[in-house]
Amino acid sequence: MNLVIVVVVVAVIALIVGGVYNQLVRRRNEVDNAWSQIDVQLKRRLDLIPNLVETVKGYAAHEKTALEAVISARNSAMSTGASPHEQAAADNAVSSALRQLFALSEAYPDLKANQGFVSLQDELSNTESRIAYARQFYGDAVETYNTAIQKFPAVFVASMFKFSEREFFAAEEAARSVPEVKF
């Protein structure tokens, strides 16, 4: 009789642990998926850059510094590490280099009238907002996951199977400051 009770209790505990474990795995996969979504968008942006550089060269080849800044920012972003912090830093460098290039392009009416350039500019600003959305989604997923592994009773299962907290994506200070506009 006692044996039966013990067996039943153990079985129930095993079932609960299993259920919680499965849920945590699902949430963790969601975080990974959200992270790869950001990567997809970032890659898309990096793929657009060579085309942009070529187009700008055709009209403003002597703007060497700005062009080189964009290329080098792109190259370092291609070979960056995987942590949210490193990725954010590399990505911010690309953003500011691009911003400078677009600011310079204002001085070249022919370039601004180029259909290819206009559509590239469109595409890039579009991708920019998608990156922001993807980061938001990642933030949501991390929040849900971190909350899930901190809650009772999941916290025991989490520590048993080494579910660790994930890092939020923090915007760099530079990205937050408003860019200066001079006339």
Partner 1 sequence: MNDLIAANKRRTFFLLFGFVVITLLVGVAVGSLIDNGTTGTLIALVIAAVMAFSSYWKSDKIALAVSRAHPADEQEYRRLHNLVEGLCIAGGLPKPKVYIIQDDAPNAFATGRNPKNAAIAVTTGLLHVMNRVELEGVVAHELSHIKNYDILVSTLAVTLVGTIAIVTDLTLRMMWWNGGRVARSGDRNDRNNPLALIGLVLLLLAPILAKVMQAAVSRRRETLADVSAVRMTRYPPGLISALEKLQADNTVTHSASMATAHLWIEQPMSGVKDTGRLGMWHKLFNTHPPLAERIALLREM
List residues binding partner 1 (CB under 8 A): 30, 33-34, 37, 41, 126, 129-130, 133-134, 136-137, 140-141
Contact residues for 122 (Cβ-Cβ < 8 A; gap 6+):
none
Shortest approach of partner 1 to residue 118 CB, angstroms? 13
Q: Which CB, 53 or 175, lies closer to partner 1? A: 175
Shortest approach of partner 1 to residue 34 CB, angstroms? 7
Shortest approach of partner 1 to residue 134 CB, angstroms? 5
Shortest approach of partner 1 to residue 59 CB, angstroms? 25
Shortest approach of partner 1 to residue 136 CB, angstroms? 5
Kindly tell me the burial class for residue 166, based on how many C-beta atoms sit within 10 Å of its own C-beta (0-12, 13-18, 19 or more): buried
Q: Which CB, 108 or 137, lies closer to partner 1? A: 137
Q: Which CB, 79 or 115, lies closer to partner 1? A: 115
Token pair recorded at residue 92: 């911010």
Q: Which CB, 75 or 126, lies closer to partner 1? A: 126
Instruction: Tally the residues of the chain.
Output: 183
Q: Is 165 helix (H, G, I), strand (E, B) or coil?
A: coil
Q: Which CB, 76 or 150, lies closer to partner 1? A: 150
Other Cβ atoms closer than 10 A to 38: 23
Per-residue burial over 48-73, b if 16 or more Cβ lie within 10 Å, else e, is: bbeebbebbeebbeebeebbebbeeb
